[in-house]
Structure 1
């Protein structure tokens, strides 16, 4: 069996924990505590170390999902969790104040990892207006400007089929096979 470690990262409130709960078939390990800073205006609890879950896709493929904390003050965990990863999923909240800025921040924060592994960007909480505009294209262009050929997909992170699209883009990436 091949084990694949995939990092799920992005800003606070983007849906990282939900993504792992949605897709994992094992019991999810969560390290949420009550939010005590500005995060409490967005949600009651926040991840402080990681979320972890697994799924066996077939007889030869097991995926380990590691969700990072979204707060920059826990960025030391990003490096720890990224060791040995085979791919990165950046989850963005399309309804956030500036998703484009969020994307740029996470592209730069994970630049060392993204040099080695495939990336896919999942845009969660996207409005119909955004779907009908050039919103996704702007995010795609930001990824290209960064030097990434990552796919940018509008997703509902609460739907297993959407999570499956993100994970499969990592697993079937040419960059993964180039190793």
Structure 2
């Protein structure tokens, strides 16, 4: 019997959720994209429902990857998609006007999921936009009482996306081991 786990990707529009899932999915990703009408963001399409992909791990487990819509007006989908998720990947676009405020939005919007599962933060476009730094992101997470890895990650690079997933899985394994001890 194959073990299956649901992993949720979230972040602002244009942060790379659809791209990250497509970079590693072993099945043709499902996308619910429509033409973008938000003139503030130079992007042709935007996710309005969810993205979906799958990846099989070396141990035979299958990760089902779900991506949330990034626009705040679709935040009602966040709690629906979060149901049953084993972990959360938050993608932050460091080139946005206020990436720390964006981080606040997702740490608050997914606070229940973060409190009960593992979380990892991937900050994109760090090479061209090095500020705020990863330490700044970590300090903001600390204000929310969130302790999890925060790394620079390029959603186009399958190695970076798998690094995010591996960090998430290490946390989950550690959490399971600690629960067994108690």
Same fold judged by TM-score > 0.5? yes
Q: CA deviation at 1:23?
A: 1.2
Counting only pairs closer than 5 Å after superposition, residues 11-90 of structure 1 correspond to structure 2 as 11-38=12-39, 41-90=41-90
Report the Cα offset of residue 178 of structure 1.
5.1
**TM-score of the aligned structures, taking structure 2 as reference length:** 0.91
Counterpart in the other structure of 1:138? 136
Q: Give distance in 2, aligned partners of 1:62 and 1:23.
A: 12
TM-score by length of 1: 0.92
Per-residue CA deviation, residues 133-152 of structure 1 (Å, 9 max, x unaligned), is 67110101111221111100
For residues 51 and 176 of structure 2, the distance between their equivalents in structure 1, rounded to whole angstroms, comes to 23
CA distance in 2, matches of 1:38, 1:178: 48
The list of structure 1 runs, each at least 4 consecutive aligned residues, that deviate by more than 6 angstroms after superposition, is none
Q: After TM superposition, list the pairs within 5 Å mapping 1:72-151 onto structure 2.
A: 72-127=72-127, 130=130, 135-151=133-149
| Number of positions where the alignment pairs a residue of Structure 1 with one of Structure 2 | 176
Aligned-residue CA RMSD (Å): 1.6
The runs of 5 or more residues in structure 1 that have no matched partner are: none
Change (3 A) 1:56 1:146: same
Cα deviation, residue 60, structure 1:
2.6
Seen in structure 2, the aligned counterparts of structure 1 residues 11 and 176 have a Cα distance that, compared at 3 Å, is: farther
In the alignment, structure 2 segments of 5+ residues that lack a partner are none
List per-residue Cα deviations over 1:47-75 (Å, max 9, x = no partner): 00000000001243111110000011111
Secondary structure in structure 1 of the residue aligned to 2:73: helix
Query: Residue 76 of structure 1: CA displacement?
Result: 1.1
